[in-house]
Amino acid sequence: MKEKNKEKNLKKNIAAMFELPKDIMLNLPYVSIIGNEEILLQNHKGLIEYSKNVVRIKTTIGIFTANGEDLYISKMTNEYINILGKIKNCGY
Amino acid sequence: MIKLFWYFLKGYVTIEIKGATKERFFNMASYKNIFFWDIKHIKNSIQAKISIQDFRKLKEISKKTNCKYKILYKEGLPFLIFRYRKRKILFLGIPFFLFTLYFLTSFVWAIDIVGYNDISYHVLINALDENGLSFGTFKHTINKLEIEEQMLNTFENMSFININLYGTRATVTISENIKQVDIIDRDTPTNLVSSHAAIIHSLNVRYGDAIVTPGDVVFSGDLLVSALVIPDDTNPDFFNYVHATAEIYGYVYYNLDFLVSNKDIEKEFTGRIRSIYTINIINRYVNLPNAMQNFQNYDTIISRTILNFGENYPLPFVLIVKTQKEYIEHIIQRDRQTMEQLAYRKINETILNFFDFDVDIVRKNINLEEISEGLSVSVSLTTLQNIAIEQNVVFYENIDDEVIN
């Protein structure tokens, strides 16, 4: 566990030092939100729950949850998920 | 968008997925690089769109996740072709239509000319026709440079021409030379004669010998300023001919008589409309039959619609609609005030159309008299205007000819 944390910190420092994108270096999800209409989540690990009001997606740092109304997934590949609808809140 | 258009060409299906582990179904599918779009949650099931190739890979996933799926809609080009596979004429008609369209757009169907002023439109169109650019010319045989050169040779007062072909429309942009100012020929001896019968008001003579003085009465054609100048009366052998130049203002009288009728025709539209359709196909008119009866009195409105594909692709088909609106004539009586208004309007219109701007109207007498037919209007106008016009001096070879003439 300690070794894993050490490796993570090292990667973090290298990314900060050379100004490299953290989502690639640390394998983090990359979330783009456009207003309250669209969420683009890259680097996901799979869909956990999907209904009209809730979308839960597994990522490397936890479960990303988006709540709202009339949510629907406009596109889904193994790289990204694009959610449209009236988004009320989202977080991990 | 391009990706979705590509899937339309390749064909796609809308599927409905039911089961307890629908999310796992999608995870496994995306792990196998299967692309879904428009994933919607409807009641207990999920609807999604998927391409035909990817749809065939779903069987294994369905078994593993214990989810059931079924096709709701089949969309895209392959399904359309399959649906209409027995309509052979349709498949023959599509390429025939496309070929006809391509063939028709290979001709010039409209010519626009921009920038002409002194040269008339019809003269330009005829000249273009003679040089090889006319309505219905095959586009690929047009030699623009050659036509431009020939046009410049034909018209001396044309300084620039450019022919542009956009679609089936040819736009010809021309530029004309700036008009040269006429040089006054001071060497030709000319007299000044009167253009109207008038009373002379004032004279401003620059060249020539004034024959008239203010207050004189002259008639049309009377000599006002002579080209023959004798500086010294005691020595008549010493003379000179000049180009007479002068402004001679005189009072000219005009009379205008007309009648304003006391009866007017008022149109009451009945609401009945008759439309006559005519199709113009490559300068040939085809009238479509019309079952309605002819109206006795009607107004006609003509509208032309050119069939085109965008602004630059007009085709040689024009639909002409003649809309006839029927009306009934009612004869109404005009009152004195209306007749007077009409009379004054006509007087003003006549003055504006008939006289130039440099003519001053110094007096205007209007006499209105009501008669049985309406209002008799008599107008007498007095104007102050330049009455001098040039007339070349005629020289006779000997005195006998002058006497004979």
pLDDT at position A82, please?
A: 93
In this prediction, the answer to ipTM > 0.95 reads: no
pLDDT at position B397, please?
A: 60
Write out chain B residues lying below 8 Å of A50, CB-based.
22-23, 26, 39, 41, 46
> Searching chain B, which residue's CA lies closest to the CA of residue A72?
B40
Write out chain B residues lying below 8 Å of A78, CB-based.
30-31, 33
Write out chain A residues lying below 8 Å of B40, CB-based.
72-73
Beta carbons of A46 and B33 less than 8 Å apart? no
Beta carbons within 10 angstroms of residue B22's beta carbon: 22
> Searching chain B, which residue's CA lies closest to the CA of residue A69?
B41
Residues of B with CB under 8 A from a CB of A: 22-23, 26-27, 30-31, 33, 35-41, 46
pLDDT at position B400, please?
A: 53
Beta carbons of A50 and B36 less than 8 Å apart? no
- Could you tell me what percent of chain B has a pLDDT over 70? 98
Q: How close does chain B come to A77, measured CA to CA in Å?
A: 5
What confidence tens digit (pLDDT) does each residue in B277-327 have?
998 887 788 888 877 778 888 999 999 888 887 777 888 888 899 999 999
* Cβ–Cβ < 8 Å for B147, B133: yes
pLDDT at B363 exceeding the cut of 50? yes
- For the segment B190-218, the average pLDDT, to the nearest whole number, is 91
CA gap B241, B230 in Å, rounded: 9
User: Would you call A50 an interface residue with chain B, using a CB distance cutoff of 8 Å?
Assistant: yes
CA gap B106, B112 in Å, rounded: 17
* The model's pTM: 0.46
DSSP characters over B254-285: EEEEEEEESEEEEEEEEEEEEEEEEEEETTEE
The residue assigned the tokens 């030092």 is: A17
